[in-house]
Structure formats: structure tokens, C-alpha cells
Amino acid sequence: MNETEKFQIYIKKIEAMYPFKSKLNKTEVCRVIGISPTKFVGIIDSNDLYLLPKHKTHEKKTSNGKTYRNYTFDIHDVAVFLAQD
């Protein structure tokens, strides 16, 4: 099976799980790629970003000084990531 066929399989899987969505958040991507949110945070903290699909991060400081990060993933980037394995 080549990458194009794998890509099509993963796109259909993602669209079945989350119909009518083109962007996924952190929790949704964790469900699709099969890792826990704790593992996701560990990957971010250890700066092993090659273990995650391409994403955009939006940081926001809260009133108490903590940094809040919002992650956005395109479904096509997630499917390409999964097809490469």
C-alpha cells in the first residue's frame, strides 16, 4: 500500500470521526493518532515536535501570569503524518 492509499484511508477515518470539521484541536488529534493528552504535553515539553503532525500554536497569557496554548491541526496534515508511518 503506497502513501496515497494510506492518506485516503486516514482522511476517511478522520472525516468519519469528525464530520464537517477541517481543523482539529489537541484532544481530537490525540484520539486520531492514538496518544493520551499527557503524552502530547510530554512531547511538547521535551521539544520532540517531529512526533506530532504539523500544527499552529496560539499562546495567550492568563490574568494570573500562566501561559495558555491552543493547538490547531489541519485534517490533511494529520492524514499525511499518519500515512508516513
Statement: residue 79 has pLDDT above 80? yes
Q: Closest by alpha carbon to 71, among 42, 36, 29, 38?
A: 29
Arithmetic mean of pLDDT, 68-73: 94
Instruction: Please give the average per-residue pLDDT across 32-50, as a whole number.
Output: 94
Mean pLDDT of 58-62: 91
- For the chain, the structural domain boundaries read 3-84
pLDDT band at 77 (very low <50, low <70, confident <90, very high): very high
Burial grade of 31 (CB within 10 A; 0-12, 13-18, 19 or more) = middle
Per-residue pLDDT band at 1 (split at 50, 70, 90): confident
